[in-house]
A and B are shown apart, each in its own frame.
Chain A
């Protein structure tokens, strides 16, 4: 999104006509512009997303490749990896998350200031992947709200970049006064972002962990 688009933004965005506004503007020869505040703010946010990399496994290696010079995330305004959650906008969870790490991930998410977004990178972060075991969280969308899921094992850098561009589109469509910017609240009782009954239902087709008998002698 270049400045040229900004100048032509939306139907209300008009170029200033210096001659008709001369009484309001002390410097009549300088150009000026009107635009929607929503648009301007979103434009700024979408093009300077600072990622908080939460790399726990092999996907993180691919994430590093995306950030390195060949694919160069800096082109998308991700100039700076924020290794402090307090100075970041988008959490990129790259890799599987064991239950031991779940409270850590939750705390890091809570430490990030608003506005914030999250990308779940790879099959493991999104669904648990092939690690359907006692130790791995089956999809981190149960513990933090996710905006974009990137499929793949691991996703290629192009895949991650596509996910980031989708997130930028999502950011561009947010409204100050609408409901789109409100943070999803977890269920007050279970503290999960997906209802408990739904989580158990999703793990059912292969046998719920309570009922499955795969390891019976």
Chain B
């Protein structure tokens, strides 16, 4: 067998058209992700700005057009952002700076990463369109963002707290005006926490036995339906 018949297959860096790990990336500037130009061509003035920081492209978009833009990035075959890796928010200490909502999207097909940001000016309604209908994985990410920042995602099917317990009355902990130790005194916090019923937090949907519901004994079914509201 002649040696020319073999093709060298190299995983990761260096080989053929597989992209190599970028080196000596400047802190600011550099080549933007080609998606940014495509977005500007397609959506025009709704794209406010494109930044490249540490080789990562951040696109600042109009807060009302987020859903359309994400939908396009997801559906367009030349972009194909099929993976949502995060939804979060940033609040700056400077009270004048707007709150940023951040989406991290990844295209596995083209090996691209893009970060979208929408700005919400302080004082306006903290609400933004949910992208749950595009990426089902946005469900918990948006719940966390709501829990920590109090941002309402319109169109989310079940927007409630995910990390803090539902009876938590002190607000949204990652907001800058939230005191590190919470708003109540230590004893008050303890009393509130102990008044909670640990079993009341689980809904039928969260119990994995929901499929086996019909086969459960009658008393258990009755308990589950009642939401275990003992002692509250």
Contacts and interface: CB of A to CB of B under 8 A. Distances in A.
A134 B170 CA distance: 9
B179 A212 contact: yes
B41 interface: no
B111 to A, nearest CB: 37
A213 B177 CA distance: 9
A137 B192 CA distance: 12
Interface in B178-210: 178-198
B150 interface: no
Contacts of B176: 215, 217
A134 B193 contact: no
Given A196-B191, A200-B187, A134 B180 contact: yes
A192 B179 contact: no
Given A134-B170, A215-B177, A217-B176, A192 B190 contact: yes
B175 to A, nearest CB: 9
B225 interface: no
B55 interface: no
Interface in A196-217: 196-197, 199-200, 202-203, 207-210, 212-217
Given A138-B186, A210-B185, A215-B178, A191 B198 contact: no
B182 A134 contact: yes
Contacts of A142: 187, 190
Interface size class of B (residues with CB under 8 A): 20 to 34
Nearest to A192: B190
A214 to B, nearest CB: 5
Nearest to A189: B191
B131 to A, nearest CB: 28
A10 to B, nearest CB: 43
B25 interface: no
Nearest to B196: A103
A133 B180 contact: yes
B185 A106 contact: no
A217 B95 CA distance: 7
Nearest to A217: B95
Contact of A134 (B94, B173, B191, B195): B173
B27 interface: no
A143 interface: yes
Contacts of B194: 102-103, 106, 143, 191-192
A127 to B, nearest CB: 12
B135 interface: no
B93 interface: yes
A142 B186 CA distance: 10
A151 B146 CA distance: 37
Contacts of A191: 191, 194
B220 interface: no
Contacts of B187: 142, 190, 192, 196-197, 199-200
Contact of B191 (A190, A212, A213): A190
A61 interface: no
B190 A99 contact: yes
Interface in B64-85: none
A4 interface: no
A36 interface: no
A216 B179 CA distance: 8
Contacts of A200: 185-187
Interface string A110-141: 00000000000000000000001111011000
Contacts of A134: 170, 173, 178-182, 189
Interface in B142-179: 164-165, 170, 173, 176-179
13 contacts: A99-B165, A99-B189, A99-B192, A103-B193, A132-B181, A142-B190, A143-B190, A190-B187, A196-B188, A203-B186, A215-B177, A215-B179, A217-B95
Interface of A: 99-100, 102-104, 106-107, 132-135, 137-138, 142-143, 190-192, 196-197, 199-200, 202-203, 207-210, 212-217
Given A103-B196, A215-B177, 11 more contacts: A133-B180, A134-B179, A190-B190, A196-B188, A199-B187, A203-B181, A209-B185, A210-B185, A215-B179, A217-B93, A217-B177
